[in-house]
Homo-oligomer: A and B are copies of this chain.
Amino acid sequence: MVPYHKEESVPSDDTQSRTRRVDARRNEKTLLDAAARVFADQGIDAPVRQIAAEAGVGVGTVYRHFPQRSDLVIAVYRHQVDACVDLGERLLRRGSSPLAALEEWVDAFVDFLVTKHGLASVNGGQADEGGLHAYFLDHLVPVCERLLEAAREAGEISTDIGAYELMRGIGNLCLFGGDDTRYDARKLSHVLLAGVVSHRAADGE
Contact = CB atoms under 8 A, between A and B. Distances in A.
Interface in A180-202: 180, 182-184, 187-188, 190-199, 202
Contacts of A164: 182-183
B129 A177 contact: yes
A175 B183 CA distance: 16
A14 B32 CA distance: 56
Contacts of A175: 130-131, 172, 175
A94 to B, nearest CB: 21
Interface stretch (A3-11, A18-26, A66-74, A120-128): A120-128
B190 A199 contact: yes
Contact of A161 (B159, B191, B205): B191
A178 interface: yes
Given A168-B183, A195-B192, A178 B121 contact: no
A165 interface: yes
Copies of this chain in the oligomer: 2
Contact of A205 (B128, B168, B169, B187): B187
A182 B197 contact: no
Given A194-B199, A195-B193, A205-B187, A176 B45 contact: no
A155 interface: no
Contacts of A45: 127
Contact of A192 (B131, B176, B191): B191
A164 B128 CA distance: 27
Contacts of A161: 187, 191
Interface of A: 45, 121, 123, 127-131, 159, 161-162, 164-165, 168-169, 172-173, 175-178, 180, 182-184, 187-188, 190-199, 202, 205
Given A165-B187, A169-B192, 18 more contacts: A123-B177, A127-B177, A128-B177, A130-B175, A130-B177, A131-B176, A161-B191, A162-B182, A165-B188, A168-B183, A169-B173, A172-B173, A172-B175, A172-B176, A172-B188, A191-B199, A195-B199, A198-B198
